[in-house]
């Protein structure tokens, strides 16, 4: 047996208002006055001076605002990298991503592609990155994906939605300031929060489970129950706890895998552009057969927060379109093996998968 030797985020600062210390954190990392820090910031903060005025810009540092309306694409990463190379005098001192999973993944991918030849799509997969990335920092403004702690950056390419999984992907520094997660709509809070809950269920119910993953998964699961079902948390407590649940959920899947909901939601994302959080919720709602207890609790959480999920999103798809989704989904072999065991192909046939998609 050969065990995986995983890198972890080496530095993290936690606390409300810790974002104010960004200058102290970054300044020692500045290579010289011509090597700027580039901030990739969710454009939801464009008019929010409360956040942007606290970004410590100096010399040639700049902010690039990016919409999170669509999930990150390999072509988008390539364009950003080209733009940064053309507009900076020297290779940047660092890339800082501020936003949800979309912006965090873009920051990771851009920092990798600034030091590696070719196009981002060439690196979708496992351990294909050759050179260390540029110093990169993740600052989540919504909690749940675990992208702040994971070893992957999930990108949609011309052929597949697949992460750049590598030892160079994790952030060098993460800033966990729960104050930044205020102002999210209830729906988005629920969808991204449920991504964390589903990570826990899929990890804890999976065949890859081990004591490492279990210890993180159980903690995140308990936090999710407290956040989404108890009534006695203040808003601040709830934001802080969800931030740590996201972290633990991400750590849990680092050493195991996700499962059926993620494999199916990748298919929806690829064909229909359904975003990760809501896509996972739409799928998970129909997975009693695989995760009976997890789905029961999910439905309680959904009812408690009056969340109405879209229905019938696959109702008008052609057979060809179903095939595209099924191929993308069944291509995620490790997820299926984790969920259903070594003989997963006998259980999750294309016909069975189609019948599940048809419910959604």
In contact, 276 and 195? CB cutoff 8 Å: yes
Interface with ligand NAD in residues 192-251 (CB under 6 A): 192, 195
- Binders of ligand NAD among residues 93 to 152 (CB under 6 A) are 99-103, 105, 141-142, 144-147, 150, 152
CA distance linking residue 58 with residue 255, whole number of Å: 39
In sequence order, what E strands does the chain have?
Answer: 11-14, 37-42, 62-66, 94-99, 125-126, 136-140, 154-156, 161-165, 173-176
Using CB under 6 A, which residues numbered 270 to 309 contact ligand NAD? 275-277
Closest residue by beta carbon to ligand NAD: 101
Per CB under 6 A, contacts with ligand NAD among 72-91 are 72
Minimum distance from residue 302 beta carbon to Zn ion (Å): 17
User: Binding segment for Zn ion among 25-33, 80-88, 187-195, 335-343 (CB under 5 A)?
Assistant: 187-195
Q: Which does 148 bind (CB under 5 to 8 A by kind): ligand NAD, Zn ion, none?
A: none
Query: Which strand (E) or helix (H) includes residue 125?
Result: strand 125-126
| Most distant CA pair in the chain, distance | 59
**CB closer to Zn ion, 269 vs 348:** 269
User: Binding residue for Zn ion (CB under 5 A) from 195, 205, 240, 285?
Assistant: 195
Chain position whose Cβ is nearest to Zn ion:
195
Does the protein bind Zn ion through residue 105 (CB under 5 A)? no
Question: CA 249: distance to chain centroid?
Answer: 11
**Cα angle 285, 290, 293; round to 5:** 70
**CA dihedral (333, 336, 338, 341) positive or negative:** negative
CA distances from 58 to 24, 26, 81, 84 (A): 13, 11, 21, 17
By CB neighbour count within 10 A (0-12 exposed, 13-18 middle, 19+ buried), where does 234 fall?
Answer: exposed
- Tell me the C-alpha distance between 129 and 20, whole Å: 33
Considering only the stretches 121-129, 182-190, 296-304, 319-327, report the one whose residues sit in contact with ligand NAD under the rule CB under 6 A. Answer: 182-190
Total interface residues for ligand NAD by CB under 6 A = 31
Q: Kindly report the length of the chain.
A: 360
Choose the stretch contacting ligand NAD; rule: CB under 6 A; options: 29-37, 66-74, 78-86, 346-354.
Answer: 66-74
Tell me which of ligand NAD, Zn ion, none is bound by residue 302, counting a contact when its beta carbon lies within the kind-specific cut-off of 5 to 8 angstroms.
Answer: none
Contact residues for ligand NAD, defined by CB under 6 A:
42, 44, 68, 71-72, 99-103, 105, 141-142, 144-147, 150, 152-154, 180-181, 183-184, 188, 192, 195, 275-277
Contact residues for Zn ion, defined by CB under 5 A:
195
């Amino acid at each position: 047996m050969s065990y995986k030797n995983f890198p972890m985020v080496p530095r993290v600062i936690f606390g409300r208002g810790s974002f104010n210390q960004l200058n102290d954190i970054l300044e020692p990392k500045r290579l010289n006055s011509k090597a700027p820090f580039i901030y990739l910031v969710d454009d939801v903060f464009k008019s929010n001076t409360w956040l942007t005025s606290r970004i410590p810009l100096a010399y040639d540092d700049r902010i690039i605002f990016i919409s999170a309306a669509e999930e990150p694409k390999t072509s988008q990463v390539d364009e950003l990298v080209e733009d940064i190379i053309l507009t900076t005098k020297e290779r940047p001192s660092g890339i800082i991503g501020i936003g949800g999973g979309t912006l965090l993944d873009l920051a990771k991918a851009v920092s990798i592609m600034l030091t590696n030849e070719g196009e981002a799509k060439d690196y979708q997969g496992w351990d294909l990155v050759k050179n260390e990335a540029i110093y990169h920092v993740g600052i989540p403004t919504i909690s749940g994906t675990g992208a702040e702690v994971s070893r992957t950056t999930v990108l949609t390419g011309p052929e597949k939605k697949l992460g750049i999984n590598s030892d160079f992907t994790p952030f060098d520094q993460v800033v966990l300031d729960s104050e930044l997660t205020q102002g999210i709509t209830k729906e988005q809070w629920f969808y991204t929060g449920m991504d964390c809950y589903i990570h826990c269920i899929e990890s804890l119910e999976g065949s890859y489970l081990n004591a490492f993953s279990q210890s993180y998964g159980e903690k995140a699961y308990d936090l999710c129950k407290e956040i989404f079902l108890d009534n006695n948390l203040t808003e601040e407590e709830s934001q802080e706890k969800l931030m740590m649940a996201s972290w633990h959920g991400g750590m849990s899947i680092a050493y195991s895998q996700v499962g059926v909901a993620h494999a199916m939601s990748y298919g929806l994302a690829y064909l229909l552009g359904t975003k990760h959080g809501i896509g996972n919720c739409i799928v998970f709602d129909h997975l009693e057969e695989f995760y009976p207890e997890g789905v029961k609790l999910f439905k309680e959480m959904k009812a408690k927060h009056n969340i109405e999920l879209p229905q019938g999103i696959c109702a008008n798809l052609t057979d060809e379109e179903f095939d595209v989704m099924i191929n993308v989904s069944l291509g995620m072999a490790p997820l299926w093996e984790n969920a259903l065991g070594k003989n997963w192909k006998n259980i999750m046939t294309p016909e069975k998968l189609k019948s599940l998609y048809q419910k959604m």
